[in-house]
């Protein structure tokens, strides 16, 4: 197994290195396939001369930063206000499954919620607004990407909350909070002064990953972001798939620039961390206990955060479902006049194949990732985690553009197997992450007992450890499946645009404006991971009944 | 300072009674000891008095400080100083900042720094203010925790086996320090312990929870 692990780690590193090299070499003028073999800055000059490129960078940076700050503030306020409350566990358990909702499906539903003819506008029209037709407002695709930022905040919040819930047992938050309260601190104030500073180092890396993702998101930016000029990742994608192959050089520079944007965002975040930490020290050195009014405000804000994140997510799913079975639904009615099976009758014949493709790729990627994650957890080595989580800290487009260049050169692009392999780069870290805790908690005395009963270590692994870990393994598979189904950019690049999944099709449809059909695609994309989580819940139970 | 009164305290969890009935009056400057084996409800009683009782418990009766009814107040409004068997110094703060965290906000500026410095001296931690709590010895950390609590100007002290993690020699010295400080500040003290030597040294009223049942 050790040899296989070494080989796997080598391939992993090679893929990342090839991805970065395949981006950076063309960015500096070296792409022999195009006859470009001189190094220089021409590609960068061409990129920086591209119309609106400055605005594109600004949109990516601001929407990503505002979205991540929004998610972080919402999660911390919620935790500070609800910690120890029975609602905290309920919300944490409820928000978990929302993680499985793919970004594309979420974006499509969010557009149905906040767009000019979206549900929120309908709720207040015409009685409050006087609008009898959808207003001519850029509520989706606004020039500064604020809708995109709002969507990112709501979509990233459950992820951050899950990271917080996973980190909480590692610190003695409740006891320290009680100590702070007995010293006269209001609970919310105490949480921010005593618990958050201990919690933060444990969730710093996941936050950076969320930030790197947010400033470089592609599918959400296509669906909800501005179009002219678009977010940087979208510009890179357009250049990379342009008919004019010479645009590959500025596209490479753009993919490199996306890496710099992510670096800039993380640097800005770090500066923010320091400023907030300094403010916290000032407050606690002065012994400011907080006021009842501030406490009320904190609690209200925490409840509001839960309402916006939970309500926004649920409304998004509900609207996808409702639009996909809507007959006539006139503006400004809040509900359709009639229901119809037509959207699904139209969608299913064309949707079935890409849905099955996505499911097949997801299943293969999840199974492979599970095997790799188990192997790594059984034989951990120094630095394995850092290596594993590296793809989550790099913007996808920065690695994938270069990987595509290498894949095209070796003739591997456009195959389903290649798509599965590239998905692994993003699926494996999450499968590993979701399995690691349960694996570490496994009481190894069971294996000692098994050895005493004469089982070899290998047999004890298969017959004792794996069955005992059935639930977390099923959950990790569902997580891997959900992550794979959600992948847009990896599917597009590794599939060379020829492997169509429900995800690539749904994003492509989003520009069309055929709401019912788009909703059906979005709902189908969201239903796929939900089905996975449901199976993960049921199958281990059925297995234990049989015993 | 005022007398801490427990009046008709009842405590049960999931329908099973832990403490059927308890009356206790602790005068300022005296230490009352509540004894009992683990699981007898000692720590829950302390949590009840502090206002930190988990919702799984059902409680009745009154906690008063002088004439003031504490029962309806949340923990942070009761101003009762708590010391646990672990020092619970905040690991992300220096010793001095841990002490400043306890100090009341009305003391500002230079007076604040002076108060912290004086507490460091009284706790025999002079020169260690900038240190990370993890780098201090167990006795030093226990003293820092005591003075963090005292700086908050508590109106009574609640002690949850605060000496049990210390070795014999240190335990005796720490016990004397806590009781001396409580007497100097004229504070009523409720001590929860399973060590008979604690009750003996406290020389105040003793309640055996086992005997109550």
Three-state SS for chain B is CCCEEEEEEEEEECCEEEEEEEEEEECCCCEEEEECCCCCCHHHHHHHHHCCCCCCEEEEEEEEECCEECCCCCHHHHCCEEECCCCCCCCCCCHHHHHHHHCCCCCCHHHHHHHHHHHHHHCCCCCCCCCCHHHCCHHHHHHHHHHHHHHCCCCCEEEECCCCCCCHHHHHHHHHHHHHHHHHCCCCEEEEECCHHHHHHHCCCEEEHHHHC
Contact at CB, B97 and A285, closer than 8 angstroms: yes
* Residue from A171, A179, A180 whose CB has the most chain B CBs within 10 Å, to mutate: A179
B37 shares a domain with B76:
yes
B115 touches chain A (CB under 8 A): no
Contact status of B137 with chain A (Cβ, < 8 Å): no
> Does a structural domain hold residue B86?
no
Ordered domains of chain A (ranges, CATH): 1-40+341-547 (1.10.3720.10), 54-228+291-339 (1.10.3720.10)
Q: Which residues of B touch A185 (CB under 8 A)?
A: 76
Within 8 A by CB and 6+ apart from A35, the residues are none
Please give the Cα distance from A178 to B47 (Å, whole number): 10
Model confidence at A546: pLDDT above 50:
no
Average pLDDT, chain A: 91
- A36-45, A259-268, A518-527: the lowest-pLDDT one: A36-45
pLDDT of A1 over the 70 cut: no
**B55 touching chain A per CB within 8 A:** yes
Q: Note the pLDDT of residue A377.
A: 93
Residue B15 has pLDDT above 90, yes or no: no
Which residues on A lie below 8 Å from B52 (Cβ)?
178, 181-182
Angstrom distance (rounded) from CA B20 to CA B12: 8
Q: Residue B100: its chain A contacts at CB < 8 A? A: 284-287
Q: Closest approach of chain B CAs to the CA of A284, in angstroms?
A: 5
pLDDT in tens, A410-424: 899 999 999 999 999
Answer yes or no: do B170 and B200 share one domain. Answer: yes
Rg over alpha carbons for chain B, rounded to the nearest Å, is 17
**Range from A192-196, B104-108, B159-163 carrying the lowest mean pLDDT:** B104-108
Report the alpha-carbon distance of residue B88 to residue A176 in Å, rounded. 6
Encoded tokens for B19: 């403490």
Is omega for the bond preceding A126 within 30 degrees of 0, making it cis?
yes
Q: Is B79 within 8 Å of A184 when comparing Cβ atoms?
A: yes
Angle between helices A2-27 and A342-378 (to 10 degrees): 120
Residue B87 lies in a domain: no
Q: What is the mean pLDDT of residues A90-96?
A: 75
Q: How many CB atoms lie within 10 A of CB B68?
A: 12
Token readout for A229 is 């000029």
Best of B75, B79, B94 to mutate (most A CBs within 10 Å, chain A)? B75
| Residue B76 and residue B159 share a domain | yes
Q: How far is A294 from chain B (nearest CA, A)?
A: 14
Burial class (CB in 10 A: 0-12, 13-18, 19+), A176: buried
Q: What residue of B is the nearest CA neighbor of A289?
A: B105
Domain-ending residue, one of B115, B132, B153: B153
Domain enclosing residue B188, as ranges:
1-80+154-213
Taking the C-alpha atoms of residue B161 and residue B38, their distance in angstroms, rounded to an integer, is 11
CA distance B74 to chain A (A): 9
d(CA B14, CA A246): 74
Contact yes or no for B100 and A182 at CB 8 A: no
Residues B3 and B71 in one domain: yes
Residue A229 preceded by cis peptide, ω within 30 = yes
Under an 8 A CB cutoff, do B152 and A184 touch?
A: yes
| pLDDT (0 to 100) of residue A544 | 63
Range A256-263 average pLDDT: 96
**Residue A117, CA distances (Å) to A123, A146, A261, A331 in order:** 10, 18, 33, 7
Is B75 close to A176, i.e. CB distance below 8 A?
no
Same domain, B122 and B169: no
The CATH code of the domain that includes B192 is 3.40.50.300
Predicted pLDDT of residue A47 = 94
Position A108 pLDDT exceeds 60: yes
State how far the Cα of A123 lies from the Cα of A333, in Å rounded to an integer: 8
Q: Binning pLDDT at 50, 70 and 90, where does residue A265 land?
A: very high
Whether B76 and A186 lie within 8 Å, measured CB to CB: yes
Highest mean pLDDT among A133-147, A481-495, B74-88: A481-495
Look at residue A271 and tell me whether its pLDDT is greater than 80: yes
pLDDT of residue A427: 96
B92 touches chain A (CB under 8 A): yes
What is the percentage of chain A residues whose pLDDT exceeds 70?
99
The overall average pLDDT reported for chain B is 90
Residues of chain B with C-beta less than 8 angstroms from the C-beta of A175: 84, 86, 88
> What is the chain A residue with the closest CA to B113?
A285
Instruction: Copy the structure tokens of residue A97.
Output: 């499954």
Tell me the shortest Cα–Cα distance from B19 to chain A, in angstroms.
Answer: 23
Q: Which two tokens stand for residue A243?
A: 């008919």
Q: A370-406 burial string, b = 16+ CB within 10 Å, else e?
A: bebbbebbeeeeeebbeebbebbbbbbbbbbbbbbbb
Same domain, B74 and B173: yes
Residue A452 or A244, more confident: A244
Chain B stretch 168-197, residues whose beta carbon is closer than 8 A to a beta carbon of chain A? none
Extract the tokens encoding A163. Answer: 């990271």
The closest CB to that of B105, out of A172, A281, A289, belongs to A289
Nearest CA-CA partner of A255 in A108, A394, A82: A394
Mean pLDDT score, A390-406: 93
How would you list the strands of the sheet with B31-35, edge to edge? B81-83, B157-160, B189-193, B31-35, B206-208
Inter-chain touch B104–A287, beta carbons under 8 Å:
yes
In angstroms, the separation between the Cα of residue B73 and the nearest Cα of chain A is 12
* B65 and B160, same domain (yes or no): yes
Measure CB to CB from residue A185 to each of B76, B86, B158 and give the nearest one: B76
Distance of CA B43 to the CA centre of its chain: 11
Q: Which residues from chain B sit within 8 angstroms of residue A85, using beta carbons?
A: none
> Residue B103: its chain A contacts at CB < 8 A?
287
Residues B71 and B171 in one domain: yes
Are A182 and B75 an interchain contact pair (Cβ–Cβ within 8 Å)?
yes
**Beta-carbon contacts below 8 Å between A and B:** 80
Asked if the model's pLDDT at residue A348 lies above 60, the reply is: yes
- B139 and B159 inside one domain: no
In degrees and rounded to multiples of 5, residue B107 shows phi and psi of -85, 120
Contacts of A172 in chain B (CB under 8 A): 88
What are the tokens at A525?
Answer: 């994309």
User: Across the interface, do B105 and A198 touch by the CB < 8 Å criterion?
Assistant: no
CA distance A222 to chain B (A): 42
B124, B153, B182 - which closes a domain:
B153
Per-residue model confidence as pLDDT tens digits over A519-544: 999 999 999 999 999 999 888 887 76
B80, B92, B103 member nearest A197 (Cβ): B92
Angle at B5 between CA A291 and CA B176, to 5 degrees: 90
- Taking CB atoms and an 8 Å limit, are B105 and A86 in contact across chains? no
Q: Is residue B72 part of a domain?
A: yes
Q: Is B57 on the interface with A (CB under 8 A)?
A: no
How far is Cα A152 from Cα A210, in angstroms, rounded to an integer?
10
Instruction: Answer whether residue B77 shows pLDDT above 90.
Output: no
Give me the pLDDT at residue A545, please: 54
The pLDDT score that the predictor gives to residue A547 is 44
Give the residue from A243, A242, A241, A255 showing the smallest Cα distance to A27.
A255
In a domain, B75, yes or no: yes
Per-residue pLDDT at A352 exceeds 60: yes
Report DSSP state, residue A218: S
**Are B112 and B198 found together in one domain?**
no
B174 and B75 within one domain: yes
pLDDT tens profile A114-132:
999 899 999 998 888 888 8
CB atoms within 10 A of CB A301: 17
Residues of B in contact with A180 (CB under 8 A): 76, 101
Tell me, what's the pLDDT at A320? Answer: 96
The average pLDDT across A182-202 equals: 92
Split into its structural domains, chain B has a count of: 2
CB proximity under 8 Å: B 61-90 to A: 74-82, 84, 86, 88, 90
Among residues B153, B168, B189, the one where a domain terminates is B153
Question: Under DSSP, is residue A115 helix (H, G, I), strand (E, B) or coil?
Answer: coil
> A136: part of which helix (H) or strand (E)?
none
Which DSSP state fits A444? T
From chain B, pick out residues whose CB is under 8 angstroms from the CB of A190.
76
Asked if B203 and B168 sit in the same domain, the reply is yes
Nearest Cα of chain B lies from the Cα of A478 at a distance, in angstroms, of 34
Question: What is the structure's pLDDT at A155?
Answer: 94
Tell whether the torsion through CA atoms of B104, B109, B111 and B117 is positive or negative. Answer: positive
Distance from chain centroid for Cα A532? 17
Average pLDDT over residues A11-28: 93
Please list, in sequence order, all residues whose beta carbon lies within 8 angstroms of the beta carbon of residue A210, skipping any fewer than 6 positions away. Answer: A68, A71, A156, A159, A160
**Residue A178 host element (H or E):** helix A173-182
B85, part of any domain: no
What is the DSSP code (8-state) at residue A326?
Answer: B
């Amino acid at each position: 197994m050790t040899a296989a692990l070494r080989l796997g780690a080598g391939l992993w590193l090679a893929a990342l290195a090839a991805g970065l090299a395949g981006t950076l070499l063309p960015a500096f003028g070296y792409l022999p396939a195009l006859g470009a073999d001189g190094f220089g800055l021409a590609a960068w000059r061409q990129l920086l001369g591209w119309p609106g490129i400055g605005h594109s960078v600004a949109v990516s940076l601001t929407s990503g930063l505002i979205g991540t700050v929004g998610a972080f503030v919402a999660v911390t306020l919620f935790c500070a206000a609800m910690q120890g409350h029975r609602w905290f566990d309920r919300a944490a358990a409820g928000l978990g499954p929302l993680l499985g909702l793919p970004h594309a499906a979420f974006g499509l539903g969010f557009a149905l919620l906040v767009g000019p003819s979206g549900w929120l506008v309908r709720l207040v029209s015409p009685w409050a607004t006087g609008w009898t037709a959808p207003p001519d407002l850029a509520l989706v695709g606004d020039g500064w990407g604020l809708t995109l930022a709002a969507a990112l905040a709501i979509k990233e919040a459950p992820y951050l909350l899950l990271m917080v819930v996973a980190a909480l047992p590692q610190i003695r938050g409740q006891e320290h909070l009680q100590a702070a309260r007995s010293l006269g601190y209001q609970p919310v104030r105490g949480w921010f002064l005593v618990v958050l500073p201990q919690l933060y180092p444990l969730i710093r890396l996941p936050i950076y990953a969320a930030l790197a993702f947010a400033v470089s998101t592609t599918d959400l930016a296509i669906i909800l972001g501005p179009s002219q000029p678009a977010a940087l990742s979208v510009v890179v994608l357009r250049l990379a798939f342009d008919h004019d192959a010479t645009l590959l050089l500025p596209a490479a520079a753009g993919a490199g620039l996306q890496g710099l944007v992510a670096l800039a965002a993380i640097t800005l975040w770090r500066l923010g961390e320091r400023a907030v930490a300094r403010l916290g020290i000032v407050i606690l050195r002065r012994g400011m206990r907080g006021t009842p009014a501030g406490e009320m405000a904190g609690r209200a804000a925490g409840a509001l955060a839960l309402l916006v994140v939970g309500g926004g997510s649920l409304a998004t799913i509900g609207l996808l479902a409702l639009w996909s079975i809507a007959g006539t639904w006139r503006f400004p009615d809040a509900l359709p006049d009639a229901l119809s099976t037509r959207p699904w009758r139209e969608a299913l014949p064309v949707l079935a194949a890409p849905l099955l493709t996505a499911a097949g790729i997801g299943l293969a990627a999840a199974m492979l990732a599970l095997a790799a994650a188990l192997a790594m957890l059984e034989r951990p080595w120094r630095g394995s985690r850092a290596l594993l989580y590296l793809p989550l800290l790099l913007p996808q487009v920065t690695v994938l553009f270069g990987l595509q260049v290498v894949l095209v050169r070796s003739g591997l692009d456009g195959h389903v197997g290649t798509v599965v392999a590239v998905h692994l780069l993003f699926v494996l870290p999450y499968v590993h992450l979701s399995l690691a805790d349960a694996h570490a908690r496994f009481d190894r005395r069971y294996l000692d007992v098994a050895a005493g009963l004469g089982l070899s270590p290998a047999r004890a692994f298969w017959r004792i450890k794996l069955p005992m870990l059935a639930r977390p393994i099923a959950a990790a598979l569902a997580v891997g499946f959900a992550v794979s189904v959600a992948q847009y950019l990896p599917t597009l690049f590794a599939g060379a645009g020829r492997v169509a999944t429900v995800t690539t099709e749904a994003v492509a449809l989003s520009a069309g404006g055929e709401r019912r059909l788009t909703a059906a695609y979005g709902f189908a994309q969201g239903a796929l991971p939900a089905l996975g989580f449901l199976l993960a819940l049921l199958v281990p139970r059925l297995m234990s009944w049989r015993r | 300072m005022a007398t801490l009164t427990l009046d008709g305290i009842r405590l049960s969890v999931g329908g099973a009674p832990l403490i059927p009935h308890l009356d206790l009056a602790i005068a300022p400057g005296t230490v009352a000891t509540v004894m009992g084996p683990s699981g007898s409800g000692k720590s829950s009683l302390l949590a009840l008095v502090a206002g930190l009782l988990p919702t799984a418990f059902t409680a009745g009766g009154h906690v008063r400080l002088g004439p003031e009814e504490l029962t309806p107040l949340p923990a942070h409004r009761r101003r009762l100083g708590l010391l646990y068997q672990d020092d619970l110094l905040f690991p992300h703060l220096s010793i001095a900042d841990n002490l400043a965290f306890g100090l009341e906000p009305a003391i500002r500026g230079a007076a604040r720094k002076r108060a912290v410095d004086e507490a460091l001296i009284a706790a025999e931690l002079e020169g260690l203010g900038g240190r990370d709590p993890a780098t201090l010895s167990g006795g030093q950390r226990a003293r820092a925790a005591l003075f963090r609590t005292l700086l908050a100007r508590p109106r009574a002290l609640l002690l949850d086996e605060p000496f049990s993690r210390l070795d014999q020699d240190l335990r005796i010295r720490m016990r004397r320090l806590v009781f001396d400080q409580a007497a100097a500040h004229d504070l009523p003290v409720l001590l929860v312990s399973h060590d008979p030597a604690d009750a003996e040294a406290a020389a105040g009223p003793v309640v055996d929870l086992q005997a109550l049942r």
